[in-house]
Amino acid sequence: MDLTDLTIKQAHQGFKKKEFSARELALAYLKKIKQTDKDLNAYLSVAEESALSDAELADKKIASGNFSELTGIPCAIKDAILVEGQKCTAASKILKNYTAVYDATVTKKLKKEGSVILGKTNTDEFTMGASTENSAFGVVKNPHDKTRVAGGSSGGSAAAVAAKEACFSLGSDTGGSIRLPASFCGIVGLNPTYGSVSRYGLIAHASSLDQIGPMTKNVEDCKIVFNVIKGKDKKDATSVESEIQNSKFEIRNSRIGVPKEYFAEGLDKEVEKIIKNAIKKAEQAGAEIEEISLPNTKYCIACYYIIVPSEASSNLARFDGIKYGYSDQSQKTLMQVYYKSRGEGFGLEPKRRIMLGTHSLSFGYYDAYYKKAQEVRKLVKQDFTKAFEKIDLIFCPVAPFPAFKIGEKADNPLSMYLVDIYTCGVKLAGLPGLSLPAGNVGGLPVGLQIIGNHFEENKILAIAQELENVL
């Protein structure tokens, strides 16, 4: 038996039956990382010593009989989420040697459950990208085809789970950064409702959109992890105690909306076929399918790429070469230290977003750009609100195409931004969305996106779990 094949549920049962120990499970994953990650670059750092120490503590909990489903389960954490005592670089040279001095709330919750943290995974720099090609420490390769991207920005977290280098992982989603890599790598990825999971300890990209979520081998595991990390946190004022209904929800009683705007020009024909097949399976299982309209979809990308750089330029101002991170101390004046440290520390994409965002917020342009984008954001949200008055869930693609070749879009930022076409509207509205493996095109996975109303993750997970068995 290859222990790295096991899901969270299966590993938990194995512990119960004393078929193997948490230490043995951790060693199996550490061995897998050593064997495969040199080709994938999913991990930026592996904490072997602390992982084995965590596993030994988990074994003591298991021996006592008082342990949870995540006790002893090896996981990976995106390198924008703090783990005390471990490096947290956000895949940027400016934080190359930064070591976290405290745990993110989600990290603390996993540690409390007895999870084994294997290491930190690669990401686009400061989570800015859709392919993990923007990492200062090299691109993540797709486990299904190493000439292709793993998606971004949580590409390392997705590749680690898909390559069985972690039983589950945590990623973060600002515009599609959990769902896109989950789709490209053929795993389950949940972007929770904004505010349902604490952002405390997540290096900020765009604060009104950032959300931490689980990336797992199947839907059942996704539900287990989400139920542990969700909840209000006094250290994050935007977090709320979600009122998620636990009532039974089945496909045969559901109304599924299909947005006509998401099946227009630009969608790969094979991807469209796979998504429509998934919709047909839901209909055969008894769901009522209804075409809906989200008319402001055409403004989503433009709106998103004004709001995000604006918030990013503000958030990245703290990386000044003085407080922490990379600092060029050879300069004579304070201003020169700022310029040189930021100039050398930031990569091209953060610089691009800082400039775009600073321009959008500047005097004379604020009303024309940022304020206008926030007004459009309200219209996007209204589209979804109106749709959910008559439907339960929305089915649509995650991305217009499967994983693309490494370097294929690297020289064209606009082309890369368009990868977010089906995912960023969900973020602007603060809604939950999940990527469910639905098929493949030439061996490359394709994800079905299931979108729910605010705090209706249980609906999404229930339907996804039913569909998972027939897709």
With residue 126 as reference, give the H or E element that holds it: none
Single-letter amino acid, residue 397: P
Distance CA(296)–CA(261), nearest Å, equals: 9
Sign of dihedral through CA atoms 83, 51, 190, 448? positive
Distance CA(169)–CA(182), nearest Å, equals: 11
Cα torsion 159, 163, 169, 170 to 10°: value is 10
With residue 175 as reference, give the H or E element that holds it: none
* DSSP one-letter code for 404: P
| 3-state helix/strand/coil string of 245-309 | CCCCCCHHHCEEEEEHHHHCCCCCHHHHHHHHHHHHHHHHCCCEEEEECCHHHHHHHHHHHHHHH
Residues assigned a catalytic role: 78, 153, 177
Q: How far is CA 258 from CA 161, 196, 434, 441, in A?
A: 29, 25, 15, 22
Residue 135 tokens read as 């990492």
Residue 447 tokens read as 């994800």
